[in-house]
Structure 1
Amino acid sequence: MVVVHIIEPFASGVALFVNSLTKVLGDDEHIVIHGERKDEIEAHLVKKGFNTSNVKFIPWKSAHRKVNMVKDVQALFEIHSILKRLKKAQLCDVVHLHSAKSGFLGRIACRMLGIKNVFYTPNGASFLSTDSAVKRFLFKGLEVFANKLCGKVICSSASEFNEYKKLGIKTLYVNNGVETVARQDETARNTSEKFRIITCGRIVAQKNPELFNEIASYFVGLDNFEFVWVGDGPDADLLHAKNIKITGWLDKNAVYDLIKSGDVYLSTSQYEGLSFAALEAMSLKKALLLSDCVGNRDIIRQGVNGDLFSNKRAAITKIIQYQNNREMLEVMGALSKDIKKTEYDMQHNFRIYKDIYLGRPYISNTLMKRWTFN
């Protein structure tokens, strides 16, 4: 089977999703048609993480991040041309679209070419990404329109699945998953005197660095607290509290070591598909303190492996409680690891996509229920 993946944001969690999928479905051939976001990471660096024995890459040169009518029409014509060549060469058994722009333009192109076996994974619904009621209405309309063209929607979390159901879009979901983190059985306890709150990801509006900074600012002057943001991004200037350290981008092992050294994993995201970084923190036995948003709320068992918060005050209160009871965090961290193993295992969850591609029903590992689109 040849699976064609179309991905505009060839970076961060979406690229990791496609990478994970190609690894698990290693017996199949994969063609990745990708854009590039040089301001975040160059495409050749992303490709290094892929197993190139079963993955080929085709650049989607005209794909751009922002909505631009002229550039988006160019991107549509280019993706149509690429898919037309692949279809003619019989290298297009399945088309899997990743993220909103790829999902919209890709479904138009597939409809024009009569390609039937099409799937779309939002990895964070576009209509959840804005506070503007007008933009939210527009993005919802585009999702409904594109869904009528062709293709089937596969969400990466139950809460995202529920948001699409509200739009009347027939969908299902497969939980994201991560590999068992190397060296995770080593002690993960923070041996320093400081209570370390850590997060990982791009510093962009979606991750709400402004809220992260407000939370950290409360603890400025209290030398036994420190905040660490692993990553970088265009909104790094919003993290200006004196007790925040921005590490920049690090290799995977260095990231794991930093997360293991933390006491609590904090996410202030406005929305998620299902965060790979939070899942890796679970694998590393971390208690989670996550904003109550789509994607985040799926992985929290309130008071068991962590907590959800709805505002700055609630997050600060929880951090103080955690700092006064580190032994409780160790128990929460162990439970995080157990939940990750049973519900968010990469090998188990991503194999489900093969059944979906072939039109077979599959067993949901969380609901123990047989799912089909019909």
Structure 2
Amino acid sequence: MSKVKILHVLHSVGGVDVSLRLILSNLDPNKFESVVVKGKTDTDRAFYDANHAKIKTYNCTIIRNISPLNDLKALKDLQKIVKEEKPDLIHAHSAKGGILGKLVGHFKKIPILHTPQAYSFLSVNSKIKKSAFLTIEKVFSKLNNKILASSTSEQNRAINEVGYETEKALIFNNSIKPIDEIKPLSIRKTWPDEYICSVGRPSFQKNIELMIEILAELKKKNSQIHLVLMGVGFHSPNLETIKKLIKKYNLSKNISLLEWTEREDIFHIIKKSQLYISTARYEGLPYSIIEALALKKACVVTDADGNRDLIKDNHNGFVIFDNNIKEFNQKIELLLSDNELKKQFEENAYQRFNSNFNINNTIQSLERIYLNNLKK
């Protein structure tokens, strides 16, 4: 049997990039051949398969924002690549990758799977923009394609808001390898031994403003509370606002802002923390929380897409509704004071990871999805 060729199309940054690398490095290379098409200004790191062989990669003008000239050029480039590669299936990732992939797949009669990794219409605060982005998704849902959601929440949005038929809204949970080794920090530690942590760039999506408000309230009862916030160095449009809030609440000694660093450092910091928090407005299925589960960490998170798919309230953490700062503080204080409860949540966290988000146990389901959606 010849290999099935999968063409991956994406704006390869952040969690989208992480997702693709995990998929490529775990697919059976005896059954699948992968080709990647990404933006010219995306990561320049090579992609590798499970045999550590470098994967063929094309660069074209795929960018995050809408740009008619760049988008048209990217579409023409992608059509040429598809004509040359003749893939059996296109797996489009991210909003822009989804639009380009769906168009080319429609023109070339190639099956398309689209993984949004958080729908673009969730990323804007403007009702007009949100309506426009949702309309675009609805229009493109009518082409010959299926959603391959990264979480149950994303799958539900595809059906209930975008308008996909239930049988055209599939799911493959974002998944990672077990984290078996914690390496020493490659950066200098400048924070206390006892701290809580999070990963999140200051942006509308991550809602770090709420996190600072929570920290300010925690400090009223615990002057030694400390937050290590990772990931503030890449595309952080609200960073100056966050710095002003830190100064307003006199929190400079209670928070460490770390620019993006090696994943091994992130693992180390999460592992040594007391617990993990997230104030996100929406997610696809956040890798940082999956990593926290794999590292046996209890979590306190907002009731957002992605968060609620990973954290079961009062089982492996707490889910906070309506951005309730008082409730957030009460649950964090409870876990910091009740060691037995925290230990139980930590064990539940690891069990939940291993059952649902361990890629060693889930990759076969993705392979079946690929095989079941080839052109008849």
Task: Bin the TM-score by the shorter chain.
Answer: 0.7 to 0.9
SS in 2 for 1:315: helix
* Alignment counterpart, residue 130 of structure 2, candidates 127, 133, 136: 136
Change (3 A) 1:267 1:180: same
Equivalent residue, structure 1, for 2:179: 181
Q: Output the CA distance in 2 between the equivalents of 1:356 and 1:49.
A: 19
Equivalent residue, structure 1, for 2:317: 306
Q: Establish whether residue 123 from structure 1 lines up as the match of residue 122 from structure 2.
A: no
Deviates more, 1:49-58 or 1:254-263: 49-58
Q: Output the CA distance in 2 between the equivalents of 1:49 and 1:356.
A: 19
Aligned partners of 1:301 and 1:307 also within 8 Å: yes
Q: Establish whether residue 101 from structure 1 lines up as the match of residue 96 from structure 2.
A: yes
Q: Output the CA distance in 1 between the equivalents of 2:109 and 2:354.
A: 40
Change (3 A) 1:275 1:356: same
In structure 1, the gaps of 5 or more residues are 185-191, 362-374
Aligned partners of 1:35 and 1:63 also within 8 Å: yes
Q: Output the CA distance in 2 between the equivalents of 1:247 and 1:154.
A: 33
Equivalent residue, structure 2, for 1:82: 81
* Alignment counterpart, residue 22 of structure 2, candidates 13, 20, 24: 20
SS in 2 for 1:207: coil
Deviation, structure 1 residue 201:
3.9
Q: Output the CA distance in 2 between the equivalents of 1:79 and 1:253.
A: 34
Q: Establish whether residue 169 from structure 1 lines up as the match of residue 172 from structure 2.
A: no
In structure 2, the gaps of 5 or more residues are 183-190, 247-251
Change (3 A) 1:75 1:159: same
One-letter amino acid of the structure 2 residue matched with residue 123 of structure 1: Q
Give the % identical residues.
Answer: 27
Deviation, structure 1 residue 261:
1.1
Equivalent residue, structure 2, for 1:275: 286
One-letter amino acid of the structure 1 residue matched with residue 174 of structure 2: N
Change (3 A) 1:36 1:203: farther
Aligned partners of 1:107 and 1:146 also within 8 Å: yes
Equivalent residue, structure 1, for 2:241: 238
One-letter amino acid of the structure 2 residue matched with residue 103 of structure 1: G
Say what the alpha-carbon RMSD is for the aligned residues: 2.5
Equivalent residue, structure 1, for 2:364: 351
One-letter amino acid of the structure 1 residue matched with residue 177 of structure 2: E
Q: Establish whether residue 337 from structure 1 lines up as the match of residue 347 from structure 2.
A: no
Number of residue pairs the alignment of both structures matches: 345
SS in 2 for 1:358: helix
Deviation, structure 1 residue 46:
6.3
Deviation, structure 1 residue 314:
2.0
Equivalent residue, structure 1, for 2:187: none
Q: Output the CA distance in 2 between the equivalents of 1:334 and 1:96.
A: 35
SS in 2 for 1:274: coil
Equivalent residue, structure 2, for 1:198: 197
Aligned partners of 1:11 and 1:46 also within 8 Å: no
Change (3 A) 1:193 1:83: closer
Change (3 A) 1:45 1:210: farther
Aligned partners of 1:26 and 1:54 also within 8 Å: no
Equivalent residue, structure 2, for 1:372: none
Aligned partners of 1:198 and 1:228 also within 8 Å: yes
Runs of 4+ in 1 over 4 A off after TM superposition: 46-52, 192-195
Change (3 A) 1:52 1:79: farther
